[in-house]
Amino acid sequence: MRLTTFVLFVLSGYWCAAQKMTAEKTFVSFFSKASIEDIKAENTKAMSIFNSETMDIVFSIPIKEFEFDKALMKEHFNEKYLESEKFPKATFAGKVSGFSKETSGEQAATAKGKMTIHGVSREIEVPGVITMEGGRLIVKAVFKIKLADYEVKIPQLLWKNIAEEVEVKIDFVYKAP
């Protein structure tokens, strides 16, 4: 009996693995509105896996791959604010609720889990929209991040240039295995 259980458990693991979907297209952007200058950046190099069985979702965003309008902004972003040499990635590991893979079309869902930016981890909850569309799954979310929450420090002289809160947009397209 124990053996059977074990075999079943191992099998269940494989079965779950079969539900893992890897993102084939990712888009992450952020936008910071401030009195002097709006700052925006885009990144298409993020990676993500969504397990539609366990509802686990993880993603990893390489900080150095954010592209800005100004070369100097990118340099400052990496060198001074996000310190990408020390903390090369922002990651999220969490669970999706409110989504059923049996339902097609748009569904409002929530992901709850651990966001790590600039080496600081926080539990967050992100509302989003998941769409099933012909073997593809599209996850979209817009949420706000407070820089202070992740110990991203802005020099006093620059505070008018950089908002304390930035709006992050993610848009992942997964292909079923």
What does the binding site for another protein look like in residue numbers (CB under 8 A)?
A: 1, 4-5, 8-9, 12, 16, 20, 22, 47-49, 51, 54, 56, 58-60, 62, 64, 67-72, 74-76, 78-80, 83, 85-86, 88, 91, 93-95, 113-114, 155, 157-158, 161
Smaller CB distance to another protein: residue 22 or 104?
22
DSSP 161: T
Smallest separation (angstroms) from another protein to the CB of 154: 11
Smaller CB distance to another protein: residue 71 or 135?
71
- 94, two tokens: 């969490």
Smaller CB distance to another protein: residue 40 or 104?
40
Smallest separation (angstroms) from another protein to the CB of 70: 4
Smallest separation (angstroms) from another protein to the CB of 6: 9
Smallest separation (angstroms) from another protein to the CB of 105: 26
Terminal CA-to-CA distance of the chain, rounded, Å? 32
Which candidate, 31, 28, 29, places its Cα nearest to that of 165?
31
Burial of residue 51 (CB within 10 Å: 0-12, 13-18, 19+) is middle
Q: How many CB atoms lie within 10 A of CB 6?
A: 10
In whole angstroms, how large is the CA radius of gyration of the chain? 19
